[in-house]
Chains A and B, each alone.
Chain A
Amino acid sequence: MANDWLIKVPFYGKWSMKVIGKNADFKQRVVIEESLSSDGFVDGVVGQSVPAIDGPKWLVFIESSGNNGTSWNASRTKRVPGVISPDGLVVTLFSDDVVTGGSDSDFNDLIVQFVYLNPEVNPPGVPPYNFTVPPESFRPTLPPDKPKCRCECTCRKDKRPRRKCNC
Chain B
Amino acid sequence: MTPRRGARSLQRRAPRGPLGVLLATVILAAGAALSGCAASSGTVPGCGDPLRLAIIAQSVSSASYVPCISGLAPGWNTSGFDPTQDGTSFLLNSDRSPGQPVTVRLTATCNVSGASPSPSRAPGVLTYTRLDSISPRFVGALYDVFPGGCISYGFDFALGSQIALVEQFEDAIGLYPRQQLRLILKQKLGIELSP
Does A pair with B? no
**Which B residues form the contact surface with A (CB < 8 A)?**
none
